[in-house]
Structure 1
Amino acid sequence: MKTRIAIAALGTLFTAFANAAEAPHWTYQGKTGTSQWAHLEADYAVCGTGQRQSPINIETRKVTGTTAQAIGLSYAPANAEVINNGHTVQVEPANGGALTIDGVEYKLAQFHFHTPSEEKIDGKSYPLVAHLVHKSADGKLAVIAVLFRTGKSNATLRPVFARLPAKPGDKHALHGTINVGDLLPPKRDNYRFIGSLTTPPCSEDVRWVVMKRPVSISSTQLAAFRKLYKMNARPVQAANGREVLVGR
């Protein structure tokens, strides 16, 4: 009986090691930083070889005059969980709504933050960006990037930033509900392009919607996030001649 228990314990241990091996540790700086992502795991190779990587610097003089079809937004107040995943703070609303692009619906899965902003516009970065990640029924991804400048306190994010999970793995239910639509700027002008995830495995064919106008966040709110993550932004990647459309 003791032998069986010992074998079972070893099996559990080996499984734990195997699961740990499935997700190589990556960071934003140092030996496992952004320049090394492509070498950490075979599945991460596209981080170095991909031709449509994100983020990019949007050069407005090169943006095509073609206007993309207006996006459809249908967000609603939802309960949510706030998670420190070891790379950022992530908020996961339950049934928070959807984004529609070119007739395809992408349901909101989560949103998270990077400081400074990963996206740049004419070389300018912002103190913070929120990435609103959406997924279609067939598994395709679409991300809305909302840029933040320092100014007035952001009322929508107040319950999130008032109590950020302090350690990787920590999580808690958000007090009250959150409507992700309230994070967006009143005017919905945006830039559109095809890119990738900005974290490993850097998968491509992600539809990006970058809002032109930043919204406000207070220096106190920004400091609360930077206390956990001083810098968690991937550098801009080569555009490689990608077409950037304007939308609304």
Structure 2
Amino acid sequence: MNRRDALKAFAGLALCPLCRPAFAAEGAHWSYQGATGPAKWGDLDAASKVCAIGQQQSPIDIIAPVKAQLPPLKLGWAKSADTIVNNGHTIQLNFAEGSTLTLGDRKYKLLQVHFHRPSEHLVAGRSFPMEAHFVHRADSGALAVLGVLMSTGKPNAAFASVVATMPAKEGPPVKADASFNPNDMLPKKLTYYRYSGSLTTPPCAETVEWLVLTTPITVAETDVAAFAKLYPMNARPVQRDNRRYVLVSG
């Protein structure tokens, strides 16, 4: 393991609050507004300093991506989730062992999916009503997050089942609806943008290989509205790209 991967492994294991299935987040309290909002995350505690001074922060506005020969996304996801939780920042579904993402010669395990409103990533300045983040971790501790942009239109059965069963208040995880199939939250075409970035929540560790699908899925506007009753805004503003290249698969 090289030095960069070793640093990612340590940070990914220790500094990924949204990777934890428990509803009680560790560390300093943070939010999306006010005195503990995104502009203040870097001042919350020493572990979150990178939120303010990091050079590879996420999300970003994806502008003029460079076309490249990227490895295909090979997804081996189960057709169900284990638990669902309202963790005080979003709605999250956790997965049992066995679901994987293979990217080139590296394999990642699917840990969880959570949701942001509106989308955290922009594409050429365009925002989307929501965005789903499927969080994966390799045995080394390196993280890969698959971002799925969500537009309104035709209903999506998987997201509808999330909305129908999501806990209204913060609390411990409960059993997920057996009808939820994460594979149904993917577009048919799995072309993607790829760049190196960070967690989009404190401590903002720069440990993430971002894989944002180029094709949005559609979900019912009523389901977005139902999610918005719990979380009307839980998205970090876009960060400076600092001349990072964003690649796009053909």
* 1:36 is aligned to 2:26: no
Cα distance, 1:195 vs structure 2: 0.4
- Distance verdict in 2 for CA 1:231–1:79, change over 3 Å: closer
What per-residue deviation string (whole Å, max 9, x for no partner) do you get for residues 43-93 of structure 1?
Answer: 00000111000000000x3x2232212221111213421100000000012
Distance in 2 separating the partners of 1:147 and 1:73: 17
- Name 2:248's counterpart in structure 1: 246
Q: What secondary structure, in the 3-state scheme, does the structure 2 residue paired with 1:227 have?
A: helix
**Cα gap change, 1:170/1:69 in structure 2, threshold over 3 Å: closer, same or farther?**
same
Shift of 1:109: 0.1
Query: What is the rounded CA distance, in whole Å, between the counterparts of 1:50 and 1:66 in structure 2?
Result: 26
Q: CA deviation at 1:34?
A: 0.1
Question: 153, 163, 172: which is aligned to 2:165?
Answer: 163
1:23 corresponds to which of 22, 27, 44: 27
Secondary structure, counterpart of 1:65 in structure 2: strand
Tell me which residue corresponds to 2:156: 154
Letter in 2 for 1:39: D
d(CA) in 1 for partners of 2:135, 2:156: 20
2:196 corresponds in structure 1 to 194
CA distance in 1 between counterparts of 2:203 and 2:179 reads: 31
Task: Name the counterpart of 1:17.
Answer: none
Provide structure 2 residue ranges, at least 5 long, that are not aligned to the other structure. 1-23
Aligned residues: 227
Q: What residue identity is the alignment partner of 1:159?
A: S
Equivalent residues in 2 for 1:96-175, closer than 5 Å: 97-175=99-177
Is the aligned partner of 1:57 residue 2:34?
A: no
Deviations 1:16-40 (A, max 9, x none): xxxx995111001100000000000
Distance apart, 1:193 and its partner CA:
0.4
Partner of 2:85: 83
SS at structure 2 position matched to 1:186: coil
Identity %: 47
- Residue type matched to 2:45 in 1? E
Give the TM-score normalised by structure 1: 0.87
- Verify the 8 A CA contact 1:115 1:128 in the aligned structure 2: yes
Partner of 2:207, secondary structure, is: strand
Deviations 1:79-120 (A, max 9, x none): 421100000000012235111112100100000000000000
Return the alpha-carbon distance in structure 1 between the equivalents of residues 236 and 26 of structure 2: 22
Structure 2 CA distance for aligned equivalents of residues 162 and 221 of structure 1:
9
- What amino acid is the match of 2:61? N
Change (3 A) 1:177 1:137: farther
C-alpha distance in 2 between matches for 1:180 and 1:137:
22
SS in 1 for 2:187: coil
Q: Of the two, which has the highest radius of gyration?
A: 1
Q: Deviations over 1:111-161 (max 9, x none)?
A: 000000000000001000000000000111000000111111111122211
Give the Cα separation in 2 of the matches to 1:147 and 1:21.
26
TM-score (norm 2): 0.87
Q: Which runs of 5+ in 1 are unaligned?
A: 1-19
Question: Structure 1 segments of 4 or more deviating over 3 A?
Answer: none
Q: Is the 8 A contact 1:79 1:177 kept in 2?
A: no
Cα RMSD of the aligned pairs, angstroms, is 1.6
